[in-house]
Chains A and B, each alone.
Chain A
Amino acid sequence: EVQLVESGGSLVQPGGSLKLSCVASGFTFSNYWMDWVRQTPGKSLEWIGEINTDGSKTNYAPSIKDRFTISRDNAKSTLYLQMSNVKSDDTAIYYCTRLGARDYWGQGVMVTVSS
């Protein structure tokens, strides 16, 4: 069974940093591109970015580019999202996803940006 389990969400002050993790299981992690998607409170879904299988290529949404960094450790089957210089607009549930003809989404982790 495919599972994606996020962790690392918390309350962080504006301008601060936070690193989210996503541990994958039930499939060969190193064979798949992985994405992060977020959902702001009461709002729609927003794609953050993706990373290729060996971590050498990433693509980001313009709204977060240069503040967020996606990385992965295939040996640990773990996906990361490093968030820097966070703003109140970054308050959201963050989902680790494997998108495709058969999507898989984690349960999500809450990040709250507030002073």
Chain B
Amino acid sequence: DIVLTQAPLSVSVTPGESASISCRSSKSLLSSKGITSLYWYLQRPGKSPQLLIYQMSNLASGVPDRFSSSGSETDFTLKISKVETEDVGVYYCGHRLEYPLTFGSGTKLEIK
């Protein structure tokens, strides 16, 4: 199975500042079709996960452009610019390259 390792475990951010979350894959997530199969999710407290980013760098529908993602075949970064209080929750990375799909262990974002 592909192992996704996230860091840090938690991050505390002042509103208006930026935050970065890392996700490292045990295997290249670049598919034979040239698509990088890396996804980012946010799970707000008490809610279901919601998709933020698909295929490494594409913003999901309705997600503000304060969120962005970049990376290589194995190392990825989610950046949140101008953090707002509504960004509080746990961020997960996940892949859909092969079976089984797996997820990172999550990074908790808190507001200072």
Query: Which chain A positions have C-beta within 8 A of B20?
Result: none
Query: Which chain A positions have C-beta within 8 A of B79?
Result: none
Stretch among A19-27, A74-82, A104-112 lining the B interface: A104-112
Beta-carbon nearest neighbor of A108 in chain B: B48
Q: Separation in Å of the A1 CB from the closest CB of chain B?
A: 13
In this complex, the interface size class of chain A, counting residues with CB under 8 Å from chain B, is 20 to 34
Stretch among B24-32, B69-77, B81-89, B99-107 lining the A interface: B99-107
Q: Separation in Å of the A36 CB from the closest CB of chain B?
A: 11
Determine whether the beta carbon of A45 is less than 8 Å from that of B60.
no
Taking CB atoms and an 8 Å cut-off, the chain A residues in 57-83 that contact chain B are 59-63
* Interface majority SS (helix, strand, loop, mixed), chain B: loop
Query: Which chain B positions have C-beta within 8 A of A45?
Result: 41, 49, 92, 94, 103
Q: Separation in Å of the B54 CB from the closest CB of chain A?
A: 5
Determine whether the beta carbon of A101 is less than 8 Å from that of B60.
yes
Chain A 95-107, CB-CB to B under 8 Å as 1, else 0, gives: 1000111110111
B58 within 8 A of A: yes
Chain B 1-16, CB-CB to A under 8 Å as 1, else 0, gives: 1000000000000000
Determine whether the beta carbon of B51 is less than 8 Å from that of A102.
yes
Instruction: Please report B residues at the A interface, Cβ cutoff 8 Å.
Output: 1, 41, 48-51, 54-55, 58, 60-61, 92, 94, 96, 99-106
**Chain A to chain B contacts (Cβ below 8 Å), 9 pairs:** A44-B104, A61-B100, A102-B51, A102-B61, A103-B49, A103-B60, A105-B49, A106-B48, A108-B48
